[in-house]
Structure 1
Amino acid sequence: MRSVELFAGAGGLAIGMANAGFQHAAVVEWDHDACETFRENQRHHAHSVEGWPVHEVDARGFNFRALNADIAVVSGGPPCQPFSMGGKHQAQRDDRNMFPEAVRAVRELMPKAFIFENVKGLTRESFASYFSYIHLQLQYPELSRHKGENWIQHRARLEQHHSGNHGAPTYNVLFDVLNAANYGVPQKRERVFFVGFRSDIGAHWSFPEKTHSEDALLISKWIDGTYWDEHKIGRKQRTDAPQRVAQRINRIRANPSFLEVTRWRTTRDALLNLPDPEVHHDNGIANHVFTPGARTYVGHTGSLLDEPAKTLKAGYHGVPGGENMFIKDDGSVRYFTVREAARLQTFPDEYEFHGSWSQTMRQLGNAVPVRLAEVVANSVAASLAAACDNNNAKYIA
């Protein structure tokens, strides 16, 4: 199935889509360093990006109609800074708001489905009106904004159309906030996903079930001790259970149950088998270089080794210390290397990043974790395949 990837960044969502079997007809990204990351990996014949048609261009100038028909899925993460908790919160007033281009891609390509990801901040109450506007546009992408019509007027027209007797929406659109840690990513990263299926294909879909849980991690650490055994950490080296989880541990002990999901993956899991770059400078591992200067300050205290990492941030005004460093076993802090951050975002180890440390960390801070992207993409692919089989069966009958 052919796909188009917009606002590709470092390629987390695009790799996840490819791992799920989608073939990219176009990968669109305007940032030069991010595009160089793709090209560098293609030069090294990295399996993840081999053969991708990369277009270094602003999405606003891309001609989607030139791709011809038969695009199964459009996916992408429109730049999130307009809606980020750490940004200026300008939403639709921010020049970096690319949701209109995401909708244009859907309108011009009319794919069978789409997947769009953005920051959890988009769901804040202050953005509720614009959130509903995005949702309505994705349901009715053919009802484009008129010349001279502002977004509030356009939303009102979409609402009137939706509430009138006009049949089913062009796309059935679902949205939810997913925590990447619940799907095997060693990072607490909450993002909102919009997933839509064209109404005429008759697809049945729901967001994938969680595969990993915090309770399972608590059991492995504080009840049966298997987590410490896995990492060869003796009792003298272990920390005590934090007070904030004590009640949960007691509840689990009082009501033991079989968990069918795996434990959350931790920062220590992600860093497994990587040499300490502060000691081993010439370690021969791409992007695994020590960066000095990490320090703690109020609200920025680093990620704990034995929990999923905090959400990596892009750091447009300098890399935020707390989100891009971790607390070592001796209590000191160190910045993540690019390779360590890539593991937190579940990029394959063969994948290399182009640019300075701050630029590559920016790419990673903006990325969709590959594993989370693959989970969502696999579920979409399965629903599309099932819908195709059902439609073929009806045609034969």
Structure 2
Amino acid sequence: MNAVELFVGAGGLGMAVSQAGFKPQLVVDWDQWACDTIRQNQKAGLQPFASWPLIQGDVRQIKFTELDGVIDIVTGGPPCQPFSMGGLHRAYLDERDMFPQAIRAVRELRPRAFVFENVKGLTRATFANYLEYIRLQLRHPDVTAKPRETWHEHLMRLEDYETKGKFKGLQYNVVMRVLNAANYGVPQKRERVLIVGFRSDTGVEWHFPEHTHSRDALLWSQWQTDEYWDRHKVAKRNRPKDLVGKARAMKLHEQPAGLPWLTVRDAIADLPDPEQYPLLAAARFPDHRFQPGARSYAGHTGSPLDEPAKTLKAGVHGVPGGENMLRRPDGSVRYFTIRESARLQTFPDEMVFHGSWSETMRQLGNAVPTKLAQVVVQKVRDSLIGTA
């Protein structure tokens, strides 16, 4: 089955698409650093990057109608800069917003399905009207904006069309939900909004995958059975004094179903400490170098070792790497290395990243965890081939 991947970035969602068995016919991003990362891994022969038909350029200049063959799925994370929707302004006037291009790709390629992801902030009340506008455009991609029509007028026309219930032309059945990556085996509490659609003639019935991991299962393994500490060979005197977590665990009367959340320790325990053993760390693992300058202050305390990491960010208040720090049990902090951050985003160890530490952290902070994407995209593919 064929795929088109838009706004690929560092490739988190794109890798999941390829690993699910789709064959990319087009992979696009405008960012030079992200494309250099992909090209560097292509040069090294790392799959699935090696077989990607990558184009570095503006999606707005891509003529999707020139692609040959049937496209089964379109995926991507369209950049969606926050802007006020309070007035009756045309959303298309903000050139930073790429959702119109994602919708255009669906309209022109007519894929059997699509998967788009974005930040949780898109679901805030401030953007509720805009998110509904996106959903209705994806549901009815042929109902395009008229010349000089404002976004508000277009939204009302789409609502009229939707409630009338008599549809013509291209139509998709669309669902969307905010998913926490930690609930699917990612060692990071990262929430993303996923928008999934199936062309109406596919007849697919689909829902988002059930959770496989939970916080309660982690607390059970830490404070009811000690399995977590025993597995990591952490002596009792070195275990954190998590009174809140321990109290919650003691209220659990039976072992929770499913698997425990994965923690930072689970993700990086086998990596040499880059601060204590810099030469060993750099020699054994690519991009595993100590980055100085981390400091803790109110609201900026880093990720505890024995919990899933906080959301990795591209940068906070102009600080590269933001709060992307490890907080040790003794309270000291250091920045996560690039390799550790890649582990927290479930990128493979063989993958290398192009650019400085701050530039690479921007790529990683903007990415969707590959493992989260895999769970969703694999279920979409199974549904398309009738095996779900």
The TM-score normalised by the length of structure 2 is 0.93
Who is 1:256 aligned against? Answer: 254
162-171 or 175-184, larger mean C-alpha shift: 162-171
Q: Where does structure 1 lack aligned partners over 5 or more consecutive residues?
A: 85-89, 390-397
Q: Which moved more, 1:59-68 or 1:217-226?
A: 59-68
Identify the residue that residue 209 of structure 1 maps to in structure 2.
Answer: 210
CA distance in 2, matches of 1:288, 1:57: 30
Alignment of 1:137-148 (within 5 A): 137-148=137-148
1:46-79 Cα shifts (integer Å, max 9, x gaps): 1231210001011111111121231000000111
CA distance in 1, matches of 2:347, 2:233: 26
- Deviating runs (4+, > 4 A) in structure 1? 90-94
TM-score normalized with structure 1 length: 0.91
More off after superposition, 173-182 vs 65-74: 65-74
Shift of residue 120, structure 1, vs aligned partner:
0.8
Q: Give the count of matched residue pairs.
A: 379
**Consecutive unaligned residues in structure 2, runs of 5 or more:** 85-89
What residue in structure 1 maps to residue 176 of structure 2? 175
- Given that residues 219 and 249 in structure 1 are in contact (C-alpha distance below 8 angstroms), is that contact kept between their aligned partners in structure 2? yes
- Residue number in structure 2 paired with 1:395: none
Letter aligned with residue 348 of structure 2: P
Aligned counterparts of 1:355 and 1:131: Cα–Cα separation in 2 = 33
Contact 1:24 1:52 in 2 (8 A): yes
Distance in 2 (alpha carbons) for counterparts of 1:294 and 1:83: 31
Shift of 1:328: 2.1
2:272 is aligned with 1:275: yes
Report the secondary structure of 2:143's partner residue.
coil
**Amino acid of the residue matched to residue 256 of structure 1?**
E
Name the structure 1 match of 2:62.
62
Letter of the 2:254 partner, please give it: P
Q: State the Cα distance separating 1:261 from its structure 2 match.
A: 1.1
Contact 2:239/2:329, CA 8 A, preserved across alignment = no
1:82 touches 1:94 (CA, 8 Å); kept in 2?
no
Report the residue type matching 1:70 in the other structure.
V
- Contact 1:180-1:369 within 8 A present in 2 as well: yes
Task: Give 1:91 deviation, angstroms.
Answer: 7.8
CA displacement at 1:220 relative to structure 2: 0.4
The question of whether the paired residues in 1 share the 8 Å contact of 2:73 and 2:111 is answered with yes
Distance 1:235 1:322, change over 3 A: farther
Residue in 2 that maps onto 1:304: 304
Q: How does 1:307-318 map to 2 (within 5 A)?
A: 307-315=307-315, 318=318
Q: How does 1:1-397 map to 2 (within 5 A)?
A: 1-82=1-82, 94-167=94-167, 170-243=171-244, 245-252=245-252, 255-257=253-255, 259-282=256-279, 283-284=282-283, 285-315=285-315, 318-319=318-319, 323-386=323-386
Change (3 A) 1:316 1:328: closer
> What is the aligned partner in structure 2 of residue 87 from structure 1?
none
Q: Residue in 2 aligned with 1:394?
A: none
Task: Tell me if the contact between 2:314 and 2:322 (Cα under 8 Å) persists in the aligned partners.
Answer: no
Contact 1:34-1:363 at 8 Å conserved across structures: yes
**Residues 174, 222 of structure 1: alpha-carbon distance in 2 compared, 3 angstrom cutoff:** same
